Chain A
């Protein structure tokens, strides 16, 4: 038996597994070990951990090639994102947990303050003396733990003369916030933190459910929280980026500006500025890791204003500018026919367009026009109007041709001939 534990020290190791089990679900054990960096033992342990955290949400299927493990969840039927559990699986030492509960028992009210020496004495005399082999904590260990708790904001320190006194921070009552926490933990970024708060409320609320709910973003909460901190403090960061085109991540120094979150594709991007290349770039958040905060940058406000301006020309997350920082825009227009009683199509155009204009040509024809950085990002949306597209013009001719070729491919795939009547 190995030293297996269902807790983990490093979240990064498990992040990719969870995503693969959830998003893909067809990979076998060998597929992971073939990627060389992951051993079969590692796969077994991570799978077992995820199973332990997610319970019934894990499924298995046997195929002739082997056993597939996957996470299958209809997120509409669950009340709380099960991936939050992964954030509650941090390992700790025997000393950590022992000290934690004893320190907060000593400092059980904000009015009580103690020096490190006093805390140490109480730990030895009152709390540990009754054990057969009492743990020994030296002063530096306790001091380090208190410092860590001061940084987390749960303990406060106060210097009086040469002595430093420690007391617990004021308690904050969140017992009235169950519904609020339930809703926002699923509906805004870094919802795992809301889930931590919900754990304090001692009741299970099931008031809300969620449709079109992408739960996989929860496993990126750590990276997002670090990058939000960088934005708040207007700092540059160094971050590792694993592109799907490369096997190893690359470290980049970037100025994070804003997250672009999709509620239709399940993707989250960071738009950042690369000072080295005078370039705005989007990064998939699930490929980012190891965020290290760097210096405060005086250019943050200016760059964010520039992003505000560019946002009106972004359909998705793509920004195309030349090396002098000039926009390179592509013109897109398409026309749809709207029959009597199909006002919902017009409504769709208005509510689904993110940029651009809609023009009524006649009672049954509407035209959408826009100038965007990347017309290819718009193609899936335009395809959703298939059955009523009467005309289209892309300044990027290859995109327009590709669209039409794809349409022809669809016709042959489904055996739709020119003379077929709908």
Chain B
């Protein structure tokens, strides 16, 4: 069962508190810091008081404990089953890890049990040996904060030689691709992993300046007409954005969505896919992009 106190923030926090007490920390203030870091917003009102007033008889009022060992808990069957499931995923090979022996453990699920039906079909080659090798080089460099160098063919067919700080990997479930977010490389800040060639650690003396480039955000404002379940479909479809919604009347809703300016073309297409249930009210330039597409369509001769 997933919903169990065995996985709870409270159990984990109490385990951390007892460990610190066993290490010799008895200051309530210090222990309260553990609660603030690990548990929820109002947990400070519960955890230490419950321990201190002997409601939970694990710690005495002087913040000592009769427990002798730092608390640990073996993995539950459910946790092992989930681990087994991910070990069967093709992407598992991207990670260079010492994986526990799970022989005899049934996977919680396999690829037969779920189907992602609308991801794009030109995803990254997760089972390609060179892709796996490069992924591991990049992952290690991110962890160690070191530089990498690689080659890449640009849009004009020209080979570029790049040295940069890899910052993080961004995975898109829709594209089924990883993108590398970099710093210190002036031309581009993000590159598709599948376009990277001959990637190695850079061990030379030259340092790189520069931080990850900040995204430029725009906001699109739309009116959603709640017919044919459009409101629910729209709000779910755009759920992963920062947004704000307002009910205008019984059928109409105003929604403001904040998006990365680089994704504007994608946003236009996504909004158009809702047809007349969604009207772009602003910005004017965004609305014009829709109008241009409609004008072109009107001249396509579709009868």
- A interface list, Cβ under 8 A from B: 5-7, 11, 22-26, 48, 51-53, 55, 59, 61, 63, 65, 68, 70, 72-76, 85, 87-92, 94, 96-98, 100-102, 104-105, 108, 126-128, 130-135, 152-154, 168-174, 176-177, 179-180, 183-184, 186-190, 192-194, 196-197, 199, 206-216, 221-222, 225, 228-229, 231-232, 244, 258-267, 304, 311, 314, 316-317, 337, 347, 350-354, 379-381, 383-384, 386-392, 404, 406-407, 409-411, 413-418, 420-422
Q: Decide: A184 near B172, CB < 8 A? Known: A76-B260, A225-B78, A387-B296.
A: no
**Using a CB–CB distance below 8 Å, which chain B residues touch chain A?**
1-12, 14-15, 18, 40-43, 46, 50, 54-58, 60, 66-69, 71-80, 82-83, 85-86, 89, 91-92, 95, 97-100, 106-109, 112-122, 139, 142-143, 168-175, 179, 181, 229, 231-233, 235-237, 239-247, 253, 258, 260, 269-270, 272-276, 279, 287, 290-302
Pairs A–B under 8 Å by Cβ, sample size 25: A11-B3, A63-B246, A70-B245, A88-B7, A88-B12, A90-B7, A91-B5, A94-B56, A97-B14, A101-B15, A102-B58, A134-B57, A152-B78, A153-B75, A174-B100, A188-B85, A190-B108, A206-B168, A264-B174, A266-B240, A317-B117, A381-B273, A386-B293, A390-B302, A415-B291
* A-side contacts of B76, CB under 8 Å: 152-154
Smallest CB-CB separation from A215: which chain B residue?
B240
Among the listed A5, A194, A350, A422, which residue makes an inter-chain contact with B46, where contact means beta carbons less than 8 Å apart? Answer: A5
Q: Determine which of A127, A172, A176 lies in contact with B80 in the assembled complex, contact meaning CB atoms within 8 Å.
A: A172
- Contact present for B108 and A152 (CB under 8 Å): no
User: Which chain A residue shows the least CB distance to B269?
Assistant: A384
Taking a contact as CB atoms closer than 8 A, the residue among A92, A174, A259, A314 that contacts B5 in the complex is A92
- B169/A422 in contact, CB under 8 A: no
Please, which residues of chain A bring their CB within 8 A of the CB of B287? Answer: 414
In the complex formed, the residue of A with least CB distance to B41 is: A52
A416 to B295, CA, bound (A): 6
Whether the Cβ atoms of A261 and B116 lie closer than 8 Å is yes
Residue pair A187, B117 in contact (C-beta under 8 Å) = no
Enumerate chain A residues within 8 angstroms of B239, measured Cβ to Cβ: 22-23, 214-216, 266
Q: Which residues of B contact A73 (CB under 8 A)?
A: 240, 242
B71 contact set on A, CB distance < 8 A: 101, 104-105
A190 engages B82 (CB within 8 Å): yes
Distance of A406 Cα from B275 Cα, bound (Å): 6
Which residues of chain B come closer than 8 Å to A196, judged between CB atoms?
7, 79
Tell me if A's interface is mostly helix, strand, loop or mixed: mixed
Q: Interface centre among A317, A379, A380, by most B CB within 10 Å?
A: A380
A209 touching B272, Cβ below 8 Å: no
* A389→B11 contact, CB < 8 A: no
Closest to B95 in A: A180
B117 touches A193 (CB 8 A): no
Output the nearest chain A residue to B6 by Cβ-Cβ distance.
Answer: A152
Query: Please, which residue of chain A has its CB at the minimum distance from the CB of B179?
Result: A211
- Please determine whether A194 and B86 come into contact, CB atoms closer than 8 angstroms: yes
Within 8 Å CB of B58, what residues of A?
97-98, 101-102
A305 to chain B, nearest CB (A): 11
Q: B16 to chain A: closest CB distance in Å?
A: 9
Residues of chain B within 8 A of A63, CB atoms compared: 246
Q: Is the CB of A263 within 8 A of B109?
A: no
Given A207-B169, A260-B115, also A154-B97 (CB < 8 A): no
Distance, CA A375 to CA B177, complexed state (A)? 28
Per the bound structure, the CA–CA distance linking A199 and B18 in Å amounts to 16
Instruction: Please name the residue on chain B nearest to A12 by beta carbon.
Output: B3
Q: Is the CB of B54 within 8 A of A131?
A: yes
Complex CA distance for A351 and B120, rounded to whole angstroms: 5
Given A87-B3, A190-B2, A414-B291, A259:B240 Cβ within 8 A:
no
Query: Which A residue sits closest to B263, measured CB to CB?
Result: A211
Q: Which residue of B lies closest to A96 (CB)?
A: B5
Flag if B302 contacts A193 (CB, 8 Å): no
Residue from A221, A337, A386 within 8 A of B2 (CB atoms):
A221
Q: How far is the CA of A393 from the CA of B193 in the complex (A)?
A: 39
The chain B residue sitting closest to A382, CB to CB, is B273
Q: Contact between B273 and A384 (Cβ–Cβ < 8 Å)?
A: yes
**A152–B40 touching, CB < 8 Å:** no
Given A133-B54, A176-B97, A211 and B170 contact (CB-CB distance below 8 Å):
yes
Minimum Cβ distance to chain B for residue A94 (Å) = 5
Least CB distance, B9 to chain A, in whole angstroms: 4
Q: How far is the CA of A26 from the CA of B302 in the complex (A)?
A: 39
A212 lies within 8 A of B6 (CB): no
Counting chain A CB atoms within 10 Å of each CB, the highest count among B14, B107, B115, B119 belongs to B115
Chain A residues positioned under 8 Å from B68 (CB to CB): 105, 108
B114 and A261 contacting across the interface, CB-CB below 8 Å = yes
> Cβ of A258: which chain B residues have Cβ within 8 Å of it?
112-115
Nearest-neighbour CB distance to chain A for B297, whole angstroms, equals 5
Q: Contact: B236 with A265, CB < 8 Å?
A: yes
Q: Cβ of A104 and Cβ of B72 under 8 Å apart?
A: yes
A-B pairs with lowest CB-CB distance, top 3 = A153-B77, A409-B276, A422-B295
A90-B3, A410-B294, A416-B295 given; A188·B89 CB < 8 A: yes
Q: Which residues of B contact A102 (CB under 8 A)?
A: 58, 67
Given A25-B245, A267-B236, A212:B7 Cβ within 8 A: no
Give the residues in chain B near A22, CB-CB below 8 Å: 239
Q: Which residues of B contact A404 (CB under 8 A)?
A: 302
Q: How far is the CB of B14 from chain A (nearest CB, A)?
A: 7
Known A266-B236, A387-B296: A89·B100 in contact at CB below 8 Å: no
Q: Out of A75, A152, A352, A391, name the residue touching B77 (CB < 8 Å).
A: A152
**B117 & A354 in contact (Cβ 8 Å cutoff):** yes
Find chain A residues with CB under 8 A from B42 CB. 6, 48, 52
A188:B300 contact, CB within 8 angstroms:
no
Nearest neighbor of A154 in chain B, beta-carbon distance: B74
CA distance A259 to B117 in the complex (A): 10
Q: Which residues of B have CB within 8 Å of A53? A: 40-41
Is B40's CB under 8 angstroms from A85's CB? yes
Give the residue among A337, A379, A387 with the most B Cβ atoms within 10 A. A387
B contact residues around A266 at 8 Å (CB)? 236-237, 239-240
- How far, in whole Å, are A195 and B295 apart by their CA atoms in the complex? 49
Closest chain B residue to A386, Cβ basis: B297
